[in-house]
Chains A and B, each alone.
Chain A
Amino acid sequence: MRQADTAFESASGNRRAPRLTAYLLLTPLLVWVMAFVVAPALIILVYSFGERQVLGGVTLGFSLRSWARVGDPIYLAILWRSVEYAGITTLICLVVGYPVAFVVGRASERHRPLLLTLVMIPFWTSFLIRTYAWVTILKSEGLLNSLLLQLSWISEPIEMMYTPFAVIIGLVYTFVPFMILPIYGSVEKLDASLIEAALDLGAGPWRAFWKVILPLTRPGISAGVLLVFVPALGLYAVNDILGGGRVDMIGNVIENQFKGTARNWPFGAALGTALLGAFALAFWLTRRPGRADRAAG
Chain B
Amino acid sequence: MRVFTIGSAPARGMLAALTALALGTWAHPTVAADAPSELNLFAWSEYIPTSVIEGFEKESGIKVNYEEYASNEEMLAKLVSGASKYDLLQPSEYTVEALIKEDRLQPLDKSKLPNLKNVEAWYTTQAHDSGLKYSVPYMSGTVGIVVNKEKVKEPVTGYDDVFKDAHKGRIVVLDDAVEIVTWAMATQGKGPAQVNSENVAATRPVLERWLPLVKVYDSDSPKTALLNGDVDIGIVWSGEGAILVNEAPEKFQYILPKEGAHMFIDSLAIPKDAPHPEAAHAFIDYLLRPEVSRKISEEFPYTNPNVGARKLLSDKERNNEASYPKGSPRLEIFRDMGPTAVEIDELFTDVKAKSAS
Contacts and interface: CB of A to CB of B under 8 A. Distances in A.
A95 interface: no
A55 B104 contact: yes
Contacts of B46: none
Which of the listed residues B177, B337, B350 has the most CB atoms from chain A within 10 Å of its own CB? B350
A57 B81 contact: yes
B176 interface: yes
Contact of A259 (B77, B337, B339): B77
Interface in A14-35: 20-21, 23-24, 27, 30-32, 34-35
A188 B177 CA distance: 51
Given A40-B22, A55-B102, A261-B345, A247 B356 contact: yes
Contacts of A24: 3-5
Q: How large is the interface on A (under 10, 10 to 19, 20 to 34, 35 or more residues)?
A: 35 or more
Q: Is the interface of B mostly helix, strand, loop or mixed?
A: helix
Given A31-B18, A43-B23, A78-B353, A139 B342 contact: no
Which of the listed residues B3, B23, B73 has the most CB atoms from chain A within 10 Å of its own CB? B73
Contacts of B228: 135, 139-142, 161
A20 B22 contact: no
Contacts of A55: 76, 79-80, 98-99, 102, 104
Contact of A262 (B4, B79, B229, B342): B342
A57 B80 contact: yes
A245 B218 contact: yes
A74 B346 contact: yes
Interface string A48-60: 0000111111000
Interface of B: 3-6, 11, 14-15, 18-19, 21-23, 70-71, 73-74, 76-77, 79-81, 98-99, 101-102, 104, 169, 172, 175-178, 214-218, 224-225, 228-230, 337-339, 341-342, 344-346, 349-350, 352-353, 356
5 contacts: A55-B76, A56-B76, A69-B346, A256-B345, A260-B71
Interface of A: 20-21, 23-24, 27, 30-32, 34-36, 39-40, 43, 52-57, 69, 74-75, 77-78, 81, 135, 139-142, 159, 161-162, 240, 244-248, 253, 256-265, 267
